[in-house]
Amino acid sequence: MKVNGQAIAENLNLFATKPKVLEVPVPGVVEVVGVKDGGRGITYAVKLPGAAEDNVYFNTTSEGSSNSYTLIAP
């Protein structure tokens, strides 16, 4: 995972039983990078506290691809 182009977390285990909590600055750009596909695709969820009822957003990416999220101040 990158924030504003800088890596802040590497090798996050998506099969972990507990979610990983990462704090990121706002405003900022968060990029989730697909590194290794275990055979069923790379899926993940992002929860943004304080966003519309603490919604959880589910998404997918593939090896070598990424998704970016632009966070803006309320």
Query: What does the pLDDT average to over 1-10?
Result: 89
Tell me the per-residue pLDDT of 51-68, one tens digit each, with 9 for 90 and over.
Answer: 566 678 889 999 999 999
Closest CA to 24 of 46, 54, 44, 45: 46
Tell me the per-residue pLDDT of 33-52, one tens digit each, with 9 for 90 and over.
Answer: 988 887 878 888 887 766 56
Q: The pTM is what?
A: 0.76
d(CA 11, CA 15): 11
